Amino acid sequence: MSDGIVFEDVSKFYGEILGVNRVNLSIPPGITSLVGPNGSGKTTLMNLMTGLVKPTRGRVQVLGYRTDDPEHLFKILGYSTQFDAFPKGLTGFQFIYSYLRLAGRDSHSSEQLAWRVIERVNLVEAAKRNIAGYSKGMRQRIRLAQALAHDPKVLVLDEPLNGLDPLARSEMIALFRATAAQGCYVIISSHILHEVDVISDQVILLSNGYVVAEGPISTVRGEIQEHPTQILIRCTRPRELAARMLEDELTVEVSIHKDERGLLLKTRDADRLYLALNQLALQGIDIESIAPADDDVLSLYEYLIGNEEAVR
Amino acid sequence: MTRIWWAQIKAVVRLEMRKTFFAKRGLWIYVVAALPVLLFVAYALANSRFHHRIAEIAQQGEKRLAYQDLLAVKTGMTREELFAILGKPPESFRWTEHRTSEGTTEGKSETKATSDVLHEDYHYADGVNELFVGLADNKVQSINIREGSNPGQDSIMFAGVFQFFFLRLAIFFGCLGIFMNLFRGEILDRSLHFYFLAPIRREVLMAGKFLAGLLATCTIFVTSELLQTIAFVWHFPPSLRGVYLYHNHFLENAAIYLGVTVLACVGYGAFFLVAGMMFRNPILPAAAILIWEAINPFLPGLLKQCSVIYYLKALCPVNIPSPSDTPPVLALLISNSDPVSAPVAVLGILIVAMIALYASSVQVRRMEINYTSE
pLDDT at A183: 92
A11 lies in the same domain as A108: yes
**CA gap A195, A161 in Å, rounded:** 9
**How many residues in chain B?**
374
pLDDT at A311: 44
Residue A307's pLDDT band (boundaries 50, 70, 90)?
Answer: low
Q: Are A23 and A7 a contacting pair, CB within 8 Å?
A: yes
A253 lies in the same domain as A118: no
- Tens digit of pLDDT for each residue in B141-160? 999 998 877 777 788 888 99
| A271 vs B9 pLDDT, higher one | B9
pLDDT at B9: 95
Q: What is the average pLDDT across A61-83? A: 94
A193 lies in the same domain as A257: no
Q: DSSP string spanning A139-161?
A: HHHHHHHHHHTT--SEEEEESTT
- Domain CATH for A241: 3.30.70
> Measured between CB atoms, which of B18, B190, B373 is closest to A89?
B18
pLDDT at B296: 80
Q: DSSP string spanning A46-61?
A: HHHHTTSS--SEEEEE
> Measured between CB atoms, which of B15, B200, B370 is closest to A87?
B15
The answer to whether position A202 is within a domain reads: yes
Q: Determine, for residues B4 and A104 on separate chains, whether the beta-carbon distance falls below 8 Å.
A: yes
The answer to whether position A304 is within a domain reads: no
- Tens digit of pLDDT for each residue in B343-358? 998 998 999 899 999 9
* Host domain of residue A287: 229-293
A159 lies in the same domain as A265: no
Q: Of A173, A200, A222, which residue constitutes the final position of a domain?
A: A222
Chain B touched by A108 (CB under 8 Å): no
A-chain residues near B15 (CB < 8 A): 87, 98, 102
Which one, of A87, A78, A171, lies nearest residue B185 by Cα? A87
Chain B touched by A303 (CB under 8 Å): no
Instruction: Give the residue numbers in B contacting A (CB under 8 Å), as ranges.
Output: 4-5, 7-8, 11-12, 14-15, 18-19, 22, 186, 189-191, 193-202, 204, 365-366, 368-371, 373
* Angle at alpha carbon of residue B71, lines to B67 and B72, rounded to 5°: 115
Residue B92's pLDDT band (boundaries 50, 70, 90)?
Answer: confident
% of chain B beyond a pLDDT of 70: 91
**Count of domains for chain A:** 2
Residues 113-152 of A with CB under 8 A from B: 146, 150
**CA gap B156, B158 in Å, rounded:** 5
Q: DSSP string spanning A204-261?
A: EEEETTEEEEEE-HHHHHHH--SSPEEEEEEES-HHHHHHHHHTSTTEEEEEE-TTSS
Q: Smallest CA–CA separation between B295 and chain A, in Å?
A: 37
Burial of residue B227, with CB atoms counted within 10 A of its CB: 0-12 exposed, 13-18 middle, 19 or more buried: middle
- pTM comes to 0.81
How many CB atoms are closer than 10 A to CB A259? 8
The answer to whether position A312 is within a domain reads: no
Please check the confidence at residue B6 and state whether its pLDDT lies above 50: yes
| B233 vs A18 pLDDT, higher one | A18
**CA gap A214, A220 in Å, rounded:** 7
The answer to whether position A200 is within a domain reads: yes
B338 backbone dihedrals φ, ψ, rounded to 5°: -130, 65
**CA gap A145, B57 in Å, rounded:** 76
Q: Determine, for residues B201 and A70 on separate chains, whether the beta-carbon distance falls below 8 Å.
A: yes
pLDDT at B47: 83
Please check the confidence at residue A1 and state whether its pLDDT lies above 70: no
pLDDT at A38: 84
A285 lies in the same domain as A174: no
**CA gap A246, A218 in Å, rounded:** 25
Name the least confident of B96-110, B188-202, B221-235.
B96-110
Q: Determine, for residues B191 and A85 on separate chains, whether the beta-carbon distance falls below 8 Å.
A: yes
| A229 vs B107 pLDDT, higher one | A229
> Measured between CB atoms, which of B4, B8, B368 is closest to A54?
B368
- Tens digit of pLDDT for each residue in A168-194? 888 888 999 999 999 999 999 977 777
- A311: number of CA atoms within 13 Å, CB side? 13
- Tens digit of pLDDT for each residue in A41-54? 999 999 999 999 99
Which one, of B50, B62, B122, lies nearest residue B91 by Cα? B122
**CA gap A255, A242 in Å, rounded:** 8
Please check the confidence at residue A236 and state whether its pLDDT lies above 90: no
Mutate: best of B182, B197, B204, B369, partner A, most A CBs <10 A: B197
A176 lies in the same domain as A273: no
Residue A312's pLDDT band (boundaries 50, 70, 90)?
Answer: very low
- Domain CATH for A199: 3.40.50.300
Which one, of B17, B81, B68, lies nearest residue B219 by Cα? B17
**CA gap B362, A28 in Å, rounded:** 34
pLDDT at A66: 94
B-chain residues near A83 (CB < 8 A): 190-191, 193, 369, 371
* Angle at alpha carbon of residue B274, lines to B273 and B276, rounded to 5°: 65
Q: What is the average pLDDT across B85-91? A: 89
pLDDT at B235: 73
Give the chain B residue nearest A48 (alpha carbons): B368
Is the C-alpha dihedral spanning B175, B180, B183, B186 positive or negative? negative
Q: What is the average pLDDT across A148-173? A: 90
The interface predicted TM-score of the complex, written ipTM, equals: 0.81
Q: What is the average pLDDT across A126-145? A: 94
| Sheet strands side by side (includes A65-66) | A17-27, A5-14, A57-62, A65-66
A277 lies in the same domain as A139: no
The answer to whether position A308 is within a domain reads: no
**What is the DSSP code (8-state) at residue A201?**
S
Highest averaged pLDDT of the listed ranges A126-130, A195-199, B249-253: A126-130
Residue B205's pLDDT band (boundaries 50, 70, 90)?
Answer: very high
Q: Are A25 and A7 a contacting pair, CB within 8 Å?
A: yes
Q: Smallest CA–CA separation between B276 and chain A, in Å?
A: 18
Please check the confidence at residue B371 and state whether its pLDDT lies above 80: no
% of chain A beyond a pLDDT of 90: 50
Average per-residue pLDDT for chain A: 87
pLDDT at A114: 97
Q: Smallest CA–CA separation between B283 and chain A, in Å?
A: 24
Residue B110's pLDDT band (boundaries 50, 70, 90)?
Answer: low
Residue A167's pLDDT band (boundaries 50, 70, 90)?
Answer: confident
A237 lies in the same domain as A212: no
% of chain B beyond a pLDDT of 90: 40
Q: Determine, for residues B7 and A79 on separate chains, whether the beta-carbon distance falls below 8 Å.
A: no
Q: Determine, for residues B368 and A52 on separate chains, whether the beta-carbon distance falls below 8 Å.
A: yes
Give the chain B residue nearest A99 (alpha carbons): B198
Q: Smallest CA–CA separation between B264 and chain A, in Å?
A: 29
The answer to whether position A307 is within a domain reads: no
The answer to whether position A305 is within a domain reads: no
pLDDT at B105: 57
A181 lies in the same domain as A154: yes
| A303 vs A9 pLDDT, higher one | A9
| A275 vs B217 pLDDT, higher one | B217
pLDDT at A222: 67
Please check the confidence at residue A137 and state whether its pLDDT lies above 50: yes
Please check the confidence at residue B338 and state whether its pLDDT lies above 70: no
A88 lies in the same domain as A44: yes
A91 lies in the same domain as A106: yes
Q: Smallest CA–CA separation between A47 and chain B, in Å?
A: 8
Please check the confidence at residue B167 and state whether its pLDDT lies above 80: yes
Which amino acid is located at B206 in the chain?
M
A267 lies in the same domain as A216: no
Return all residues near B287 (Cβ < 8 A) that are at least 6 apart: none
> Measured between CB atoms, which of B200, B366, B371 is closest to A71?
B200
The answer to whether position A247 is within a domain reads: yes
Chain B touched by A240 (CB under 8 Å): no
| DSSP 3-state of B300 | coil
pLDDT at A103: 93
Q: Determine, for residues B370 and A14 on separate chains, whether the beta-carbon distance falls below 8 Å.
A: yes
B-chain residues near A105 (CB < 8 A): 7
**CA gap B305, B290 in Å, rounded:** 15
- Tens digit of pLDDT for each residue in B296-310? 877 777 787 788 888
pLDDT at B364: 94
